[in-house]
Structure 1
């Protein structure tokens, strides 16, 4: 295996003469494409069912809808959904650490897929306790898989300057959206119309298919994907295990006392996780910013990056409610038919990936066209556009919420339009955010900064969760309008102070 890392090794990903390729790319891309497609199929299928299952049979459910859920309020469902999404992105950082220090990317992905499959199977077993165990397993597995499978795509190419590299990641990204598009149509229909737990079981089948083809196709992957880049020393391993065990014992003792004294409620779990999800992103940024080893230029770039991080957190706070607040609205207050075709509300979760596949090439072409005319917006302006659009989507959302206040079911085209606006905003902000993160990362933290970017999602989702736990009605027009105003103001602030932010960015544009 070590030979693949030497200068004399054959270029990774270059197929042998007459060898098979995948759309002109290394054959291993097909393995990773299919693995990611099935993982996203299972993830987005379960995600489409999650808020609907939480409210099924409860006061927030649609009358006459399928029972058998956990009968929670809409506020609790939004809080749980938001925490789940936050943990997936938070766990991407330790997931990357395991790939770098313990198992290597290939082994980490295989183990992660097994954990995800076990989580979906656990969700398929009725009972609230089993539900939360299953949810934790899926979040853990997704975090382990997320960072490492992307690393393995990079291993297929001859370094960052390989001309096929960007195209390879584009093909890989299509796998994500194909899985995300198909999942609600299949898993959502079965889960919502027939059995929640059968739907969760289908998500497990999807992940099982992904795992099987990954194991069969590993021979096509780069040998580097099996290498642990920086293995833990014996001393480091023992220290890590000791600290982890101490924290586990402390948590077990604390919650044991809470349960035995009869004080335990769901908030005893939700509140600490939410707070952790807010404290860690802030702590990571502060630690990097205060590092005295950074040069003055790197310190300046980190100051500029904090602007982007906060803006992204506001964006994701609203964007991820497309799967919670808007999903519940789609179930309870939106017509379930269009053009004479009846459909379950979970199908709304296929709208975003459909728009991504349709609009991403158009917007990418638009940036190139503007660039040729020297009129392409700067990174700061693109961020401002993303925030304006996500705010505008919730301004529009206020209208159908008002129309439905008297019990009237609104047209599904309202949600389709809102998702379209949000998708355009996502395409303005998300790819640019990934790019600017790599460009502004201090050399010392180059491999960690992508995890820092994902922490913006964690911070945004934990803010949503904390508001829900505090009793704020995120399903009301007042709060939706307030969130819209916040995003628009944040976009205006980025635009107004764009020259100051650009100055902090140094040579990055």
Structure 2
């Protein structure tokens, strides 16, 4: 295993076998990511349902949403230090391999029928996912001859399809076994999926670029010692604090979830403030950061609603959606396959539309696409109001959820790729490699708000609050559109 992490041959573009016309290493990363997403989305489809199930943890819906939100927020929060770890400590390849092992161990811990062990398993999966997320994408880029390689964008498109293939299959397999056979066996299947991904990665690592084994900017001895001291300091503070809380009998689940949710909100804000206050940035870079804050805040609102597709909507479906078709009942977790299958079907359509409009010089601007994504995610929750009102104590058609997920998916295709693109374009040179992690922090901030609202006792399936969220997204989207001239000026030469 050690040798496979340190030896490689650089990608060849000659007579060597290819993967859909791309370097062979893309097949390795494609399969690794597909299996990692299979394990992640399979477990995520089960998580809120297991938390509220009588044979699961038997928690109330609000606590389940809060835990789900903490988990998702933590995954994206840890993507930033995960990228730093790959850059400064182990390099992308070794970090990815270790991360896959941590994720697999986490899923196995989830399968242990003990509450305390279950939460430790969630922590393992979150840490592993954060370590893996940024580094595996970095290695895809290493396969190509710089940013001008004409195959580069296509390679990332193929890689993106692997993500959605895993996400589509996971609820159908892991969700079915978990809900109909045994919850813990479902979590074991998630571990098996990640194990297959790890084996695929180790076997195919020889096809990766040599650059993926290099630590781009290794820590100096002084920096390593300083980092370890700071980590030990905060670890001791946490151990002492929670030791006192637990020892005095005051510990509840909120003592774990609320601090994490507050961090998920405060860290993104503090990172943006630190970048904005950096005196080394030029006036043009300062202006672009100010413009980027508009996109970041809007994205946080988008993800706040969008990510409830796996929690609030899933819990609603478990209680109020008819899952019987022609006398055959399907598991509620299957709804989590709707988004990835729509992504795979609609992404090529959108790509074709943008190219056609670009040829006519009529492609919508970044700001207009972003505004459209927000309005659509708002519409999805306006649609959600209809089955909420109609359900009462009965069941509603599953097509309501399909329509909601359709609106959210179209919104995602308008906002998410644009957000990734505008992040790289507007990043100050000093923060070029960090800004992608900053973009992920928008997801963290959005989920942190959802979790804090749930912990405050607000019923997220209440019509009044759903309407408020829908209106917020629509107003923010319209607000960005109406201020597009101001935002465009802040963006400078970025369209």
Give the alignment's TM-score, normalised by structure 2.
0.98
CA distance in 1, matches of 2:439, 2:327: 43
1:313 corresponds, among 288, 292, 300, to 300
Matches within 5 A, 1:268-279: 268-279=255-266
- Per-residue CA deviation, residues 319-352 of structure 1 (Å, 9 max, x unaligned), is 0000000011111100112355421000000000
Query: Does 2:391 correspond to 1:408?
Result: no
What is the rounded CA distance, in whole Å, between the counterparts of 1:340 and 1:438 in structure 2? 50
- Map 1:194-343 onto structure 2 (within 5 A): 194-343=181-330
**Aligned match of 2:39:** 42
1:21 matched to 2:18? The reply is yes
For the pair 1:120 / 2:107, whether they are aligned, the reply is yes
Deviation digits for residues 144-196 of structure 1 (CA, Å, limit 9, x no counterpart): 00000000000000000000000000000000000000000000000001110
- Corresponding residue SS for 1:102: helix
State the Cα distance separating 1:15 from its structure 2 match: 3.4
For the pair 1:436 / 2:433, whether they are aligned, the reply is no
Q: After superposition, where does 1:147-166 map in structure 2 within 5 Å? A: 147-166=134-153
CA distance in 2, matches of 1:397, 1:261: 44
Aligned residue for 2:90, secondary structure, equals: coil
- Counterpart of 2:5 in structure 1 is none
Please state how far the C-alpha of 1:91 moved relative to its aligned partner.
0.2
Superposition RMSD on alpha carbons, in Å? 1.0
Count of aligned positions: 488
Q: Deviations over 1:31-88 (max 9, x none)?
A: 000000000000000000000000001xxxxxxxxxx200000000000001100000
In the TM superposition, residue 363 of structure 1 has moved relative to its aligned partner by: 1.0
Cα separation, 2, equivalents of 1:278 and 1:244: 21
Unaligned runs of 5+ in 1: 1-9, 58-67
Structure 2 runs not aligned, ≥5 long: 1-7
Contact 1:187 1:199 in 2 (8 A): yes
Q: Retained in 2: the 8 A contact 1:338–1:412?
A: no
**Structure 1 match to 2:356:** 369
Q: Match of 2:468?
A: 482
CA 1:49–1:232 in 2, change beyond 3 Å: closer, same or farther? same
Query: In the alignment, is the contact (CA less than 8 A) between 2:34 and 2:164 conserved in 1?
Result: yes
368-377 vs 225-234, greater mean Cα deviation: 368-377
The normalised TM-score by structure 1 is: 0.95
Find the partner of 1:388 among 346, 355, 375: 375
Q: Deviations over 1:62-121 (max 9, x none)?
A: xxxxxx200000000000001100000000011001100000000000000000000000
Shift of 1:473: 1.0
In structure 2, how many angstroms separate the alpha carbons of the residues matched to 1:122 and 1:107?
A: 23
The CA distance in 2 between the partners of 1:229 and 1:187, in whole Å, is 38
Instruction: Name whichever of 335-344 and 260-269 sits farther off.
Output: 335-344
In structure 2, relative to structure 1, the CA distance for the partners of 1:211 and 1:11 (3 Å cut) is closer
| Cα separation, 2, equivalents of 1:439 and 1:11 | 32
CA contact (8 A) 1:14 1:26 kept: yes
Q: Partner of 1:37: helix, strand, or coil?
A: helix
